[in-house]
Amino acid sequence: MVLRKRRTDCLWFFLLVVARELDQSRHAQDAFNVIQQQEKTEQLKLQAQMAAYESEAKRLEMQRVAIQEEERRKTLELETSHMKYRAQEQDKLAR
């Protein structure tokens, strides 16, 4: 446990030193701008990925509805065929 705390303290100290050196560097603003651009690029990639997922979800929903409607149509055809057959048979029996 003590070793882990020392490692964490060392890491924070290292990051603090690096941050100070970067802040004092004449390229600090350029580095900050590059990091900002990288973050914007990552955000745009994630937004594009989310849009692709949403588009695929809508496509799948439309496909599901189309299949459901096709099944409903087939069922109606079968029911109509069955009713027609029953009507014919009842007509035969009535004669």
- What pLDDT digit, counting tens, does each position of 4-39 carry? 556 667 778 787 888 787 777 777 788 889 989 999
Give the pLDDT score at 2: 47
CA distance 14 to 20: 10
- Which residues, in sequence order, are CB contacts of 31 under 8 Å at separation 6+? 22, 25
Question: Residue 63 is encoded by which pair of tokens?
Answer: 């496909």
What residue type is 33 in one-letter code?
A: N
> Coil, strand, or helix at residue 1?
coil
Reported as a pLDDT band with limits 50, 70 and 90, residue 77 is: very high
Rounded to whole angstroms, the Cα distance separating 26 from 62 reads 56
